[in-house]
Each structure stands twice: as structure tokens, then as C-alpha cells.
Structure 1
Amino acid sequence: MSSHPPIPTRVVLLAGPSGSGKSSFAARSGLPVLCLDDFYKEAGDPTLPLVPGSSDIDWDSTESWDMEAALAAIVELCEKGRTNVPVYSIVTSARVGETALDIERTPLFIAEGIFAAEIVERCRDLGVLADALCLRGRPSTTFRRRLLRDLREGRKSVPFLLRRGWRLMREERGIVARHVSLGAHACDKKEAMGRLTAAAAGRRVKARATS
């Protein structure tokens, strides 16, 4: 009987602007994935914030997201290998069910979403953080990818998507800078995959200096 302790499960937090390719990258990684967008608050919640000077709900504000529930799910996955996750419909802005996410004894998983960087420090303090990444690219490319996805999925009305899209394109560099300030490493998908490989092997990668 082996005397080695079990390998602890840790999380790679994958942040980045909406439309930066987080979900597709996470899917291609082959690792289990926790979608942090499933922890959005529901329409009608009185704590939902509005875009300043508008009647639009600001779904890009951390106040639209249940941070504590998302963090609890990450910790439970790391400790038990299983957790229950809400199924959230962005189209209706409502939870439409619940599903069990079971990663068994997988030593590494990804938690991805636009708010992932907000919990970098919390995950580090809890000893469950393997790495924190922020995917970045050209704002114009992100704008196009985001708009095509949202239109295809019918996420919100066209006027809303256009207003949000233009606003996020103007703010994208600031969004990436904030994620970096919270502890995420900004990189493209190639470098991100390299860091995932290192994390899976139990190695720590130093952040490269950025200009």
C-alpha cells in the first residue's frame, strides 16, 4: 500500500475580456472546466447594477456575480472532487437547473469567466491556486468574436449587444490591466497552453515582464 499522500487538486483561473476565447481554450485543454458565468445573479435581483447613465443591467460588473458561491464551488472541487453547479441561461438571465460536476481525482481543473481574476488572491490564500491567466488579443478581434457569438446564441437584444460591444472594446485594455493587477498573467493562447502544461506537471512559471 502506497505511503504517498494524495495529489492535491488545484485550479487554474482563466480570466480575460468577454469574447477573448476563454471557453474554447478551456475546452481544448482537455481539463475539467468550471464555468464561472453560471454564478451570475438572476434578473430581478435588487442588487444588480446598472451601466452608469443607462437602464441596461451591467453584466460586466462584479456586483452581477455571486462571488462567494463560485469560490465555494472551487474549494469543494479541490477538496472533494465534486460539486453542484447552477445551470444559467444568459438568454433569460435566470438559473434553469442544477448539474453535478465530478472531476474525481483529477489534480488540475480550469475555472473560467470574466470575473475569474477577482478571486485570485482568495484562491491563493486558500492554497488551491495553480495559476491565474488572462487571455488577451486585439480589441477589434475580441469585439467581432463576441458579437458574432452573442448574436448566434441570441443572448440579448441586438441594440443591447451593440451598446455593450462598443463599450467593452473601448475598455478592453483597461480590463486586461485590472486582471493583471489582481494577479492574473496576461498572455496569448500559445503561452497559456504552455503554462497549463507546466501547472499540470506541478511546476510554477514566473510571469514574464511586459511592456
Structure 2
Amino acid sequence: MPARVIVLAGPSGSGKSHLAERLGLPILRLDDFYRDGSDPALPRITSGANAGLVDWDDPASWLCSEAVDALTTLCRTGVVETPVYDIAHDGRNGYRKLSLDGSPLFVAEGIFAHHVVAPLREAGLLAAAYCLRQHPAVTFWRRLTRDLREHRKPPLVLLRRGLALARDQRRLVADAVSLGCLPVSADEAFRLVQALPVS
């Protein structure tokens, strides 16, 4: 039997990575499927203080079909090579091998994770899909402190981006729900995953 995927979606800073680690299952990090910074197909912000910068929060900045192919391969063969996206290199910096080692379930998490739900469900490979809910102030602070710590962008850019994402958070969650995710807290998702059948 193929393995099945637990999808963890949610706004940046909502706790997806932390929950994925807490679950103790193999993890495929969907954010590694971003386009390289030199890709001419990258979308741009068209208005406001950050106009002209790459819009990394637009799904067009991410390679959905490549991510779905990797998920499908991992489900059916138990092993896959995935890119390693490095912010410092503004793109991919090698590949890593991910093996399920016989696990019937694994986690796929990322800010665009809700876009893989429909194709996985259609292929019979979806175990569950959750969108993590969190108060916008909490996600704003988590995201800002993480991005500042990792020097992802200049502080003023990060602050403006964080405020825009906080204002847009309700719509982001609604989009994930419309694409098949169940809106839950991290603790609720943890309990639901523990109750999933493993065969």
C-alpha cells in the first residue's frame, strides 16, 4: 500500500514546522519548492511601499506541480530527492534524500500546502489536511522574530510584509479551507493526527 500524506497548511508563523517536528513523522518541506530568485517567472509586488520586489507570498512563486510529483513519488516508492532551498543563495543549493523507512504516514508542510490537497485527494494519497489557525498578532510576532533572526530581508521590508500578511490572514485561512483543509489549532491537529488510522 502507498504511504499517505498529512498536509499542514497555514499562514507563515502559524506553527506548521513546530507541529511537524512534534508529530515525529517524516517531513517533506514544501517551501523547498520555491522558484530560484533568478527565475523570470517570479511574480512582483505591483503597489505600495514594496512595489517591484518579488512577491514570495504569491503561489506563482512556488512550483506546485513539482511538489505534487515529489509527494506522489514518496507515497508510491517510499523515497524521493527534494531540493534544498537556501535563502542565502536565493535559490536551490543541492538536494536531500528523504526516506519513509516504512512509515505509512508522513507530513507535508508549507505556506502553499493547501494547493496540493486536491491532487493528493484525487490520487487517493491524502490522509488529512489541516490549516493551522492562530491569532494574527501571534503569527505576526513569530514571523517577524524568525525572519529577523535569519536575516531574510531588511527589517523595514519584514515589518511591512508582516503587517500586510496579518491583515490578509483571515483570507489566507479561508482559501485553505476552500481547498479542503480543516481549520484547527496546533493542539487540535496533533490530537487528530494521533487518531488517524495507519493502514
Q: TM-score, normalised by structure 2?
A: 0.95
1:86 aligns with 2:80: no
CA distance in 2 between partners of 1:92 and 1:160 (Å): 19
1:197 aligns with 2:194: yes
Amino acid in the other structure paired with 2:124: G
1:45 positional shift: 0.6
1:130 aligns with 2:127: yes
1:201 positional shift: 4.0
2:137 — aligned with what? Answer: 140
Q: Which structure would you say has the larger RCO, counting Cα contacts within 8 Å and 6 or more residues apart?
A: 2
Identity between Structure 1 and Structure 2 (%):
47
Task: Render the CA deviation track for 1:143-201: whole Å, top value 9, x for unaligned.
Answer: 00000001111112212211210110000011001100111001001110111112244
1:51 aligns with 2:48: no
Amino acid in the other structure paired with 2:80: T
Aligned residue for 2:89, secondary structure, equals coil
Contact 1:91 1:156 in 2 (8 A): no
Residues 109-124 of structure 1 correspond to what in structure 2 (within 5 A)? 109-124=106-121
Gaps of 5+ in 1: 1-6, 203-211
- Aligned pairs, number: 196
1:74 aligns with 2:71: yes
1:28 aligns with 2:39: no
CA distance in 1 between partners of 2:198 and 2:171 (Å): 32
Contact 2:2 2:77 in 1 (8 A): no
1:64 aligns with 2:61: yes
CA distance in 1 between partners of 2:58 and 2:154 (Å): 19
User: Which range is displaced more, 75-84 or 190-199?
Assistant: 190-199
Q: Give the root-mean-square deviation of aligned CA atoms.
A: 1.1
CA distance in 2 between partners of 1:171 and 1:23 (Å): 21
Amino acid in the other structure paired with 1:114: I
User: Rg larger in 1 or in 2?
Assistant: 1
CA distance in 2 between partners of 1:8 and 1:198 (Å): 19
Gaps of 5+ in 2: none
1:175 aligns with 2:172: yes
Q: Give the ranges of 4+ consecutive aligned residues of structure 1 lying more than 3 Å apart after TM superposition.
A: none
1:17 aligns with 2:11: yes
1:102 — aligned with what? Answer: 99
CA distance in 1 between partners of 2:67 and 2:20 (Å): 17
CA distance in 1 between partners of 2:124 and 2:146 (Å): 35
Amino acid in the other structure paired with 1:21: G
Contact 1:108 1:200 in 2 (8 A): no
